[in-house]
Amino acid sequence: MFAEPLTASGTVHWIGTGRSTGRTGLDLLCDHAKRVIVWDRTRERARGRLSPLGLADRAEQRSLSRDSLQAEVRPGDVIVSMLPAAEHPALLRLALSHQAHFACTSYTSAELAAEANAASTAGLVVLTEAGLDPGIDHLMAQQLIERARRDVGDTAATVDFTSYCGGVPAQPNDFRYRFSWSPYGVLTALGSSARYVENGEQRTAQRPWEATRPLVLGKEAFEVYPNRDSLPFVTQYGVPSGWRLATFIRGTLRNEGWYTAWTDVFDTVRAGDEARIRALAAELANRYPTTDADRDRVVLTVELTIRNSDGATCWRGTQLLDVSGDAAESAMARCVSLPLAGGVVRILDGALPVGVNRAAQTADEADRWIDFLKEHGLPITSHCPPDPPTGSDDPLNERGERSKGEARHGA
């Protein structure tokens, strides 16, 4: 049984100021919240992070400890965790014990979901998967799938879905990568298997990089590989059961040449020696430091193609986010913090239901979120078949090639 939503107090506790904390998102929160408190290892570190963003005088700063945080959290506050995913369950437990709402950008782990069960009966909102990936990728996927379902119906002979996201150097370096989070975390992620659908069959890549393949966007070449477990998202995205999936892959995007440049890294990860992996992570951090002069780039592409039984394409849609960082804010920080901040604003406004929420769980919600992101400057572009003219039962495409009862031809 769900309780009535607990009215948000207007106070937001932003925990952690790593590389994904951006000016755009925090500035938005400072505009909407009554009070924003930023917590870091020390007050000086928090202020040092906020000052270059121009926000040191708009948000309060605190030194983080469990006791100090517990002393300040009040019922209806929102705790936002920008800490590593392993820290989320403890912060969520703290939030629930103080009748506070909770938000993060990470995947909804089994442990996080178990802790969040109590939120429904307490009238609290738990927001997860509200960043870039996971987050914006969910929004794009749900929009495309709903538009296609509306056009072709709930049965389709062949369906190919891919979603690839990556943070890369704006100007590719010899390593073909720019660390936007912990180097050790990057190497650890490489060692995690990936599950996906290819050629109509479920596949598992124990070493995901071995499934690397080329991808061309416009005239630019990239490399992509599957990441994590894609299969649960078939249901999460609302893919009709009558669609025969030939491909369903959520994965990672890298600059062309990445696979070759990382040969030595793969050898170390493959060996599985924890001490060697940690040592290599430290070495890479020193060899390829992120400096103020660096400019990063985020590329997120989601594509859905549907074919008839004869193999002819009857519907195709794509969504693309391509943004580069500047001196004021990295692309990664902007793309992670803005959707998260937008979700927190919805909590403050009482617009999200109690219990566990992801970035968007319906196509209508996805539309609202993407409209918000576009209004705040994220360059999301969409290429899909046009909507039918109002009042028309049998719309034609721009070439007049659709006859009644046939699927619309895509762009």
Per-residue pLDDT tens digits for 163-201: 999 999 999 999 999 887 788 989 998 989 999 999 999
Of 168, 125, 108, 93, give the one whose Cα is nearest residue 12: 125
Partner residues linked to 158 by β-bridges: 307
- Sequence length of the chain is 411
Give the residue from 62, 63, 68, 53 showing the smallest Cα distance to 23. Answer: 53
One of 133, 151, 160, 296 is an active-site residue; which one?
Answer: 133
- Ordered per-residue pLDDT tens for the chain, 411 residues: 567 789 999 999 999 988 889 999 999 999 999 999 999 999 999 999 899 888 999 999 999 999 999 999 999 999 999 998 889 999 999 999 999 999 999 999 888 888 888 898 899 999 999 999 999 999 999 999 999 999 999 999 999 999 999 999 999 999 999 887 788 989 998 989 999 999 999 999 999 999 999 999 999 999 999 999 999 999 999 999 999 999 999 999 999 999 999 999 999 999 989 999 999 999 999 998 887 788 999 999 999 999 999 999 999 999 999 999 998 899 999 999 999 999 999 999 999 999 999 998 888 999 999 999 999 999 999 998 876 655 544 333 333 333 333 333 222
Residue with tokens 């943004």: 323
pLDDT of residue 388: 60
Q: Are 41 and 109 spatial neighbours (Cβ–Cβ below 8 Å)?
A: no
Give the model's pLDDT for residue 390: 54
Instruction: Please give the pLDDT value at position 227.
Output: 94
Nearest residue to 229 via CA among 212, 250, 244: 250
Architecture label for domain 11-128:
3-Layer(aba) Sandwich (3.40)
Q: Which of 270, 111, 129 is nearest to 190 (CA)?
A: 270
Q: Which residues pair with 217 in a beta bridge?
A: 220
The tens digit of pLDDT for each residue in 263-303 reads 999 999 999 899 999 999 999 999 988 877 889 999 999 99
Residue ranges in 155-262 assigned as alpha helix (H):
183-190, 232-236, 258-261
Using the 8-state DSSP alphabet, how is residue 85 labeled? G
Cβ count within 10 A of residue 121? 12
Residue carrying the six token digits 């909770």: 102
What is the model's pLDDT at position 399? 32
**pLDDT of 19:** 82
Q: Give the pTM.
A: 0.90
**Could you give the residue ranges of the DSSP H alpha helices within 9-84?**
23-32, 43-50, 66-72
CA distances from 378 to 96, 292, 298, 321, 372 (A): 33, 22, 11, 8, 9
pLDDT at residue number 182: 82
The whole-number pLDDT of residue 401 equals 37
Looking at domain 136-326+379-383, its CATH architecture is 2-Layer Sandwich (3.30)
Q: Where are the domains of the chain?
A: 11-128, 136-326+379-383
- Tokens 């190497």 correspond to 187
Per-residue model confidence (pLDDT) at position 355:
92
133 belongs to the catalytic site? yes
